[in-house]
């Protein structure tokens, strides 16, 4: 039998950062709404029921926000890829990640523009 694994999902995380191509967009921080999904081991946490054996979703959300707020990219795609790398680099328990970012009001004819980036940890 393989070890149980599952997905943690943190949805609707909001932060503000400088993002955009035009000078007008880059004058002040814009709101970004993030959905974070990470594939993690469930066996250890399920057996112990202890946060020490789990990926701490509060820490994940806080790091996502800190990295997002510190960024100054032009493209939403670049920001999404950056956040994927940050989480994979800093959270060893994350096996796979998917970050979806929305930029509300980016187009007048749409509620939001969304970019999605994903990656898997390389097997050792």
The residue with greater pLDDT, 108 or 37, is: 37
pLDDT score, position 40: 95
pLDDT score, position 123: 73
Which pair of tokens denotes residue 43? 């066996």
How sure is the predictor about 3, in pLDDT bands with cuts at 50, 70 and 90? Answer: low
pTM of the model: 0.92
Q: What's the start-to-end Cα distance of the chain, in Å?
A: 20
Q: List the domain boundaries for the chain.
A: 5-120
Domain 5-120 has CATH 1.10.730.10: no
Which pair of tokens denotes residue 116? 């999605």
Which pair of tokens denotes residue 11? 């949805």
Contact criterion met (CB below 8 Å) for 102 and 87: no
Q: What is the pLDDT of residues 38-86, one digit of tens each?
A: 999 999 898 999 999 999 999 999 999 999 999 999 999 999 999 999 9
85-102 burial, b at 16+ Cβ within 10 Å, e below that, comes to: ebbbeebebbbebbbbbb
Neighbours of 60 (CB within 10 A): 22
Does the structure show a pLDDT above 80 at 1? no
Question: What does the pLDDT average to over 90-116?
Answer: 94
CA–CA distance, 84 with 37 (Å, rounded to integer): 10
pLDDT score, position 105: 87
pLDDT score, position 104: 94
């Amino acid at each position: 039998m393989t070890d149980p694994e599952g997905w943690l999902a943190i949805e609707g995380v909001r932060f503000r950062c400088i993002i955009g191509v035009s000078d007008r967009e880059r004058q002040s921080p814009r709101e970004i709404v993030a959905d974070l999904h990470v594939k993690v081991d469930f066996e250890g946490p399920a057996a112990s029921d202890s946060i020490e054996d789990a990926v701490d979703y509060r820490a994940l959300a806080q790091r996502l926000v800190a990295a997002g707020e510190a960024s100054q990219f032009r493209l939403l795609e670049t920001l999404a890829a950056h956040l994927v790398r940050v989480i994979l680099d800093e959270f060893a328990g994350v096996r796979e990640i998917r970050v979806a970012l929305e930029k509300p009001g980016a187009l007048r004819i749409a509620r939001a523009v969304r970019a999605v980036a994903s990656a898997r940890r390389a097997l050792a």
